[in-house]
Structure 1
Amino acid sequence: MVFGIISAAVHIVLGAAFGGWAGGTLGLLIGAVVGLLVGAPFGWAVASAGVYGPDARGVWLFLVDHTWSLLNTAVGAVYLAVHLIFGHQLDRTTSQHSCRVNLVEGVSPRYATTIGTVCAGSSPGIQRHEDVHIFQGRLLGPLYIPLVLLNYVLFTIAPVWLLWHDHTNAPINAFTRYFEIGVYPHVWNEAIAYRIQGSPPR
Structure 2
Amino acid sequence: MVFGIVTAAVHSLLGGVLGGWLGGPAGVAVGGAAGLLLGVPFGWAVAGARSYRPDARGVALFVVDHTWSLPNTVLGAGYLVAHLAVGHRLDRDACRHRGRVNLVEGVWPRYATTLGTVCAGAGPGVQRHEDVHILQARLLGPLYLPLVAANYVLFTIAPVWLLYHDHARAPIDRVRRYFEVGVYPHTWHEAIAYRVQGRPPR
* Common topology (TM > 0.5): yes
Aligned to 2:122: 122
SS of corresponding position for 2:114? strand
Q: Is the aligned partner of 1:66 residue 2:69?
A: no
The 1-side partners of 2:154 and 2:39 are apart by 32
Quote the offset at 1:115 in angstroms: 0.4
Q: Deviations over 1:51-82 (max 9, x none)?
A: 11101111110000001100100000000000
1:21-100 equivalence runs, <5 A: 21-100=21-100
Quote the offset at 1:22 in angstroms: 1.3
SS of corresponding position for 2:201? coil
SS of corresponding position for 1:172? coil
Task: For 2:42, give the aligned amino acid.
Answer: F
Task: For 1:22, give the aligned amino acid.
Answer: L
Gaps of 5+ in 2: none
Aligned to 1:113: 113
When the two chains are superposed, the root-mean-square deviation of aligned CA atoms in Å is 0.6
Task: For 2:23, give the aligned amino acid.
Answer: G
1:98-177 equivalence runs, <5 A: 98-177=98-177
Runs of 4+ in 1 over 2 A off after TM superposition: none
Gaps of 5+ in 1: none
What percentage of aligned pairs have identical amino acids? 70
Question: Taking structure 1 as the reference length, what is the TM-score of the superposition?
Answer: 0.99
SS of corresponding position for 1:54? coil
The 2-side partners of 1:185 and 1:34 are apart by 34
The 1-side partners of 2:152 and 2:19 are apart by 29
Quote the offset at 1:85 in angstroms: 0.4
The 2-side partners of 1:32 and 1:12 are apart by 5
Q: Which moved more, 1:58-67 or 1:24-33?
A: 24-33
The 2-side partners of 1:95 and 1:102 are apart by 6
Question: Taking structure 2 as the reference length, what is the TM-score of the superposition?
Answer: 0.99
The 1-side partners of 2:139 and 2:115 are apart by 14
The 1-side partners of 2:26 and 2:177 are apart by 46
